[in-house]
Amino acid sequence: MISELKAIAIGVSAGGFNALHRILPMFRSDFILPIMVVQHRKADQESYLITSLNDKCQLSVKEPLDKTKIEPGNIYIAPGGYHLLVEKDYYFSLSVDPPVCYCRPSIDVLFESAAEAFGSTLVGIILTGANFDGTKGIKRIKSLGGITIAENPETAEINYMPRSAIKTNAVDHILNLDDIPGFIEKLLGK
């Protein structure tokens, strides 16, 4: 049991809409950690992702604004066209810095800043995707003592992103998509 966990960061790209709609509703309404998500999407994409997840999830799903305080029991989705960063005082900041791995929002940007803020109390999760964004970030989370998870490439809709993370040897656990929420509950001693 790792009861001192404070946050979860999830990175997802191609195939992410389906993956997020499968696992995020599995987190119960009494889940205590904040879940921060980067799903690759453009600035002009409407907020259908947020609306549809709110219809399915027991936790509140929202796009954080700049300087939003990270609160337990919420799911935060990076706004399209902005990097989502975690400040040391557990507030979000948004950035329009250049794309990283051709993406803005970038998984690496969230993962690296969250690792600096949360250290060993962070769980980093790489799901389906077609590029290598998140690979550097998963290494950073691991190097600062966090727990790292990759979706099983055999069950991922697009397996390139989890495979890239696994190749770093910085992934602690390789799990089927549907097993990830239950595994995290076990880490929390639930």
State how far the Cα of 43 lies from the Cα of 36, in Å rounded to an integer. Answer: 18
Q: 30, 40, 55, 93: which one is catalytic? A: 40
Q: Spell out the alpha helix ranges (H) of the chain.
A: 16-23, 48-56, 107-118, 135-143, 160-166, 180-187
Annotation says 164 is catalytic = no
DSSP line for 70-102: P-TTEEEEPPTTSEEEE-TTSBEEEE-PPPBTT
* Candidates 106, 113, 133, 164; catalytic one: 133
Name the catalytic one among 13, 106, 113, 164. Answer: 13
29 is catalytic: no
Residues with catalytic roles = 13, 40, 133
